[in-house]
Amino acid sequence: MVFSAMMPARVADVTESIRQAKQSKDFTGMSKLIFMIALGASAIATPVMAQTPGGGERGQFMQRDESRVEAQQRADTLFQLLDANKDGTVTRAEADQALAQFQAARGGESGGRGGGRMQRMIDEAFATSQSLTLQQFEAQALARFDAEDTNHDGTLTAAERQQARAQRQSGGQ
């Protein structure tokens, strides 16, 4: 059973929060940045809760299928959120700052719902350089997509994600 009907309510909640925050005197640029990062992270990494076909584990999180074009758009959106000074380059410092703000907005959780994944993504993205252009960031995202799209049909399925996750956890990648 897929709970995608929950998404409109979440969007309505976010919209209401924005409206209320704009009316507040203490809605600063930093608050906007934290909100945008959290919104972007949730839009990018929001898994749709689904039961595994064939009676698998209940409550297992799986993401919907994603095309290569959607992966590129997701990378572009994340890049724009991370590029705090809008100079066309994301630095390791900007990414670390965004992660810290995301974790603070989530109550200081570093490994909970998305925090650990975001840290791994940042570590991988900046493994060889302290800054990335949009083209470099996009190329990394598409290389990950292509590596996980095992049948090379241009669509990353939940099963392919699960397989890639299992390989990473077993030390295969």
Question: For residue 167, what are its two tokens?
Answer: 């390989």
Per DSSP, 10 falls in state H
pTM: 0.60
pLDDT in tens, 13-39: 656 655 665 555 454 565 555 655 665
- Which residue ranges in the chain fall short of pLDDT 50? 1-8, 25, 27, 46-61
Cα 54 from chain centroid (whole Å): 28
pLDDT score, position 43:
53
Residues 82 and 98 sit within 8 Å (Cβ to Cβ): yes
Can you tell me the distance from the alpha carbon of 13 to that of 20, in angstroms, rounded to the nearest whole number?
11
pLDDT score, position 1:
42
CA nearest 86: which of 153, 25, 151, 134? Answer: 134
**Any residues with CB less than 8 A from the CB of 13 and at least 6 apart, and which?**
none
**Residue 90: exposure state from Cβ atoms within 10 A (0-12, 13-18, ≥19):** buried
